[in-house]
Amino acid sequence: MSEEDVRTRLQRLEDIERIRDLISEYAYRLDMNDTAGLAALFTSDCSVIYGPGFGADGIEAYRKTLEGVGSYFAATSHHVSNIKVSFETTTAANVRSTLYAWHRYRKERPDGILLGQYHDLVVRQDSQWLFKKRELRTTGVKDFHTKPEHQLPIGRHT
């Protein structure tokens, strides 16, 4: 293996680790209700899709969707695993991850649970990996606040 091949492989491994850190940082910032820190993980021209008719195009629209998160949830806990990174280029990658998300509401109601996947397009900008597109697909919910028509199903093979 040439020195160039070794450098390329090491860079790829470093990029995978930074992308995994990005995924973890998103969950952490969301759970801490740090909306400014959360928005900083996205490109200015981002697209965020949490379900049909619910999401945002562009960072300013995304910031608006985050405004009520703290007043709606008393606490959340997002657990992300099974992260699969597929590079399109050296500066863009598709990422799929599995999500378990618990939500405690400020209103009197049972805690909500959402199970699903994130499907992301991440890009490297100024040596930092950021979300360009983030789409949530739902496997199932229990006592969750969104109706089925406001969720994107995983789309299992039949």
pLDDT digits (tens, 9 = 90+) for 3-48: 888 898 999 999 999 999 999 999 999 999 999 999 999 999 999 9
CA dihedral 137, 142, 147, 150 (to 10 degrees): -10
SS3 at position 28: helix
Architecture per CATH, domain 3-148, reads as Roll (3.10)
What is the distance in angstroms between the CA of the first residue and the CA of the last residue of the chain? 43
Tokens 């993980």, residue located: 41
DSSP assignment letter at 18: H
Ranges of beta strands (E only) in 23-106 are: 42-51, 54-57, 73-89, 92-105
Task: State the pLDDT at residue 5.
Answer: 80
SS3 at position 62: helix
Return the structure tokens found at 1: 């293996």
pLDDT tens column, 53-106: 889 999 999 999 998 887 889 999 999 999 999 999 999 999 999 999 999 999
Global pTM value: 0.92
Beta bridge partners of 145: none
